[in-house]
Structure formats: structure tokens, C-alpha cells
Amino acid sequence: MPQPAFDMLRALAIGSQALGLMLIITLETVMGDAARPWQGGVLAIMVAAALAIALVRLYRRNRLRKQQAQRLADHDDD
């Protein structure tokens, strides 16, 4: 089965990391040293988003494997 041309999860991962990095840099520029706690919060959200996207990807991959195994099992029974 070929890979789709556009992977929504990959785009979401790249976008969320880019947005987080821009926000961290903007906070540093605007707030100076007072931005440290906010930057930590943004970093935590970035890590949580990356983990959530990885879990969704793993779930989808396992679901596709189960569907393919079921199709093979059904085909072998015929």
C-alpha cells in the first residue's frame, strides 16, 4: 500500500513544533528573563503534542496491520 502524498499527522507535528519555537523566541524577545517559566510551559506543551501525535500514529499503524491480517485470514479461508 503506497504512502499518501500528504500526511496530516506529519504536517500537524511540524506545524506545532514550528509554532512552539516561534512562541519561545517571541517570549524571550518581548519579556527577556521573565519569559523563562512561560517558555518551560510552551516546551511542555510541545512535548505533550509530539507524544500525542506519536500515539495516534502508532494506533493507526496497528489498526491497519489488524485490518490487513483480517483480510489475509478471510482470503485464506476462501
Q: What is the pLDDT of residues 27-74, one digit of tens each?
A: 999 999 999 999 999 999 999 999 999 999 999 999 999 999 998 888
Q: Which triple of cell numbers denotes residue 72?
A: 489475509
Give the integer Cα–Cα distance in Å for 32 and 15: 25
* Distance in angstroms between the alpha carbons of the first and the last residue of the chain: 22
Residue 1 has pLDDT above 60, yes or no: no
CA proximity to 20, closest of 48, 55, 58 = 48
Give the integer Cα–Cα distance in Å for 21 and 12: 14
The DSSP code for 3 is: P
Residue 74 burial (CB count, 10 A):
9
Q: What is the pLDDT of residue 75?
A: 82
Q: What is the pLDDT of residue 2?
A: 65
At 19, phi and psi to the nearest 5?
Answer: -65, -40
